[in-house]
Amino acid sequence: MKLVFATNNIHKIKEVQNLVSKEIEIVSLADINCVEEIPETGSTIESNASEKAFYVYNKYGINCFADDTGLEIDALDGRPGVYSARYAGESCNFENNITKVLSEMSGIENRKACFRTVISLIIAGKEIQFEGIVEGVILNERHGDKGFGYDSVFKPNGYNETFAEMPLEIKNSISHRYRAVQKLKEYLSLLKST
Ligand code: IMP
């Protein structure tokens, strides 16, 4: 089976291809000549994942899946959430997104947060979603220089290091994305055996 992963992030493609059976070929947007920007207008992580996956399915007619991730902070009522990528505004980057989060969290005792990934899979026009969550806390300052996004301020529960301090293999074996992909993998392997 061929499945489009609605992304051009080669790391994500490799990560997923390594996890799913070799009988499932994961291809990127570039592989199907989809070069346009895919709309992401949803107000929830679920609706964004869904929008991206349906866009590709409806336009290209190939079974596909899309993911969307957000950092949800309890004390900020779930923000930055669906707006994680552009929290500090249109011309933002990872650094000023973190700065905004740290300043909003300044003096706040409840540091609980989670990363949440939703994968939306569309097969023959039918959608099913899978969720992966990793819980942790937001630190008061940055620690570590690995990873990306909010990794340097997020410490997963049960670990003494932030995502940006731990080896990538460890992060990738406990992450929100990994957990969502595991569910996708289980579903695909069930499909194969029916
Ligand atoms: P996306 O849906 O995978 O593009 O993720 C949206 C945004 O969430 C990214 O731009 C990052 O700011 C943040 N994010 C997603 N995954 C991670 C992660 O594993 N670590 C840190 N930040 C992440």
Q: Is the CB–ligand 1 distance for residue 42 below 6 Å?
A: no
- Provide the mean pLDDT of the chain: 95
Distance 176 CA to ligand 1 centre (A): 10
Q: pLDDT band for position 192 (50/70/90)?
A: low
User: Of 31, 68, 74, 145, which is the active-site residue?
Assistant: 68
* pLDDT reading at 88 higher than 70: yes
Instruction: Say if CB 112 and CB 74 are below 8 A apart.
Output: yes
The stretch 75-96 carries a mean pLDDT of 95
Q: pLDDT band for position 103 (50/70/90)?
A: very high
Instruction: Say if CB 70 and CB 45 are below 8 A apart.
Output: yes
* pLDDT reading at 193 higher than 80: no
- Provide the CATH number for the domain around residue 23: 3.90.950.10
Q: Each residue of 176-189: pLDDT tens digit? A: 999 999 999 999 98
Ligand 1, atom nearest to 154 Cα: 21
Active site includes 31?
A: no
Distance 109 CA to ligand 1 centre (A): 24
Q: Each residue of 26-70: pLDDT tens digit? A: 999 999 999 999 999 999 999 999 999 999 999 999 999 999 999
Q: Is the CB–ligand 1 distance for residue 72 below 6 Å?
A: no
Question: Which pLDDT belongs to residue 11?
Answer: 83
- pLDDT above 90: percentage of residues in the chain: 85
Number of domains present in the structure of the chain: 1
Question: Which pLDDT belongs to residue 73?
Answer: 98
Q: How many CB atoms lie within 10 A of CB 181?
A: 24
Closest by CA position to 145, among listed 159, 163, 160: 163
Q: Is the CB–ligand 1 distance for residue 68 below 6 Å?
A: yes
Domain hosting residue 56, numbered range: 2-193
Question: Which pLDDT belongs to residue 189?
Answer: 86
Query: Quick one: tokens of 120?
Result: 């939306």
